[in-house]
Amino acid sequence: MHNENIRPESVVAQALGWIDETTRAINPPIHVSSTFLRDEDNQYRSGRVYMRDQNPAFDQAEAVITNLESGHETLLFASGMAAATAVFQGLRPGDHVLAPEVMYWSLRNWLMGFATGWGLDVELIDMTDPSAVQAAIRPGMTKLVWVETPANPLWTITDIAETAEIAHAAGALLAVDSTTATPVLTKPLELGADLVMHSATKYLNGHSDLTAGTVTTRGDNEHWQRVRAVRAQGGGTLGSFESWLLVRGLRTLYLRVRAASSAALAIAEHFDGHPLVAEVLYPGLPSSHGHEIAKRQMTGGFGGMLAIRATGGEDAAIAVAAHTKLWKRATSLGGVESLIEHRASVEGVGSPVPLDLLRLSAGIEHVDDLIADLEQALAKAHEQ
Ligand code: PLP
């Protein structure tokens, strides 16, 4: 694509407009070769030696995501967890790290288990409160501040620009898990973050048919080179077919995220104050945590993720999920189909999640059908 002013919707719809030079195909071929021919004079002029870290199938997805995030470079990984953990493994044992109390539970467990065992000094704090970040950060010792916004599964908001300033003043990098916001709604690197990570399993692919992860950097530096080495040597890379599927999914990113976002807002507004719902958690509600920051930081919507707390406690919440028909009872998020999950059943001991909380991932079905299904499930759960 040659027009610098082209809008991101157009960039992704055509996946940067790349054409396969050999066949003139407008969709990329799927390369499966694990190895590449060496030149007769012992050089590798193709620039590729071995597929683990140099798979041509990565190129287009990485280029599209770098463009969307206004970054310097993107790396694809085999899952969001492989991407996130590579950022932490790019640090050195002894480094101090700040992470949020409310964050994707599996990464929190990895940080408090594996990462601390490996030698990182991990401290969990209320990342939504800049004074708590300021109080916990150790200039010269803290090497990374990890933010997730909106944060799973309470959908609390962290001010990326303000947290980046605090991190940078102390000499730390700021990384943002932007899985829920997507580049459609938030551009962390433009707000001052150094790294942005996605579980591409979610919105970037959007069809619940692969696991993938990405990390994009604002610039090259020693830490980024170590992240690159973690991927190249650790080998947590994506397969060719999954890389191809990701490019296909990305083409409809804007349509899907906008549809999910407007459905989530309508659902949140409908159930806010509902007699069978104790609380709706959604950054798009003016009464919600971080709404003013979200209005500034997110453009064009507040995302497709929300949570409702059922009146009647844990049993009522589980019963609501049991009675839904259109909403599917399943973990994960960001697909075209709407999902409902009793989150505490997944997160277990140590989770900050209330027992009566149902996590909702709004899909692209008709929003009136989604609301009607929740209405009948709430009513049935309370008849019991
Ligand atoms: N970050 C967030 C916010 C997530 O929701 C998830 C998965 O649910 C991950 C990271 C991990 O991604 P993956 O499941 O692709 O490893």
The residue written with tokens 């989530």 in the block is 264
- What does DSSP assign to residue 191? G
Measured CA angle at 360 (ends 329, 178), to 5 deg: 120
Residue 310: the pLDDT is 97
Locate the ligand 1 atom nearest the alpha carbon of residue 201 and give its number: 15
pLDDT at 40: 97
Longest dimension (CA), the chain: 78
What pLDDT does residue 5 have?
A: 83
Question: Rounded to an integer, what distance in angstroms lies between the CA atom of residue 271 and that of residue 292?
Answer: 21
DSSP code of residue 156: B
Measured in Å, residue 149 CA sits from the centre of ligand 1 at: 13
Residues of the chain with CATH 3.90.1150.10: 253-381
How far apart, in whole angstroms, are the C-alpha atoms of residue 31 and residue 245? 13
Structure tokens at 68: 């969307």
Residue 197: which H helix or E strand, with range? strand 195-199
Q: Please, which residues bridge with residue 41 across strands? A: none
Q: Encoding tokens for residue 111?
A: 């940080």
Nearest ligand 1 atom to alpha carbon 82: 16
> How far does residue 94's CA lie from ligand 1's centre (Å)?
26
Q: Is 209 a catalytic residue?
A: no
What residue spans in the chain does CATH classification 3.40.640.10 cover? Answer: 8-250
* Of 108, 143, 159, 177, catalytic: 177
**Which CATH class for the 253-381 domain?**
alpha beta
Angle, in degrees to the nearest 10, between helices 367-383 and 253-271: 40
Q: Which amino acid does the sequence have at 131? A: S
Q: What is residue 275's predicted lDDT score, i.e. its pLDDT?
A: 98
Asked if residue 358 lies in contact with residue 310, where contact means CB atoms within 8 angstroms, the answer is yes
Give CA–CA dist 213/169, Å, rounded.
Answer: 29
Inter-residue contact 214 to 65 (CB < 8 Å): yes
Give Cα separations from 315 to 153, 212, 312 (angstroms).
19, 34, 7
Distance 371 CA to ligand 1 centre (A): 26
SS3 (DSSP) at 67: helix
Domain 8-250 sits in CATH at 3.40.640.10
Other beta carbons within 10 angstroms of residue 349's beta carbon come to: 5
Catalytic residue among 143, 187, 202, 343: 202
Reply yes or no on whether 50 is catalytic.
no
| Ligand 1 interacting residues, C-beta cut-off 6 A | 79-81, 84, 104, 107, 148, 152, 177, 179-180, 199, 201, 211, 213, 332-333
- pLDDT for 3 equals 64
pLDDT for residue 1: 63
DSSP 8-state symbol, 188: G
Which DSSP helix (H) or strand (E) runs through 225? helix 222-234
Regions of the chain short of the pLDDT cut 70: 1-3
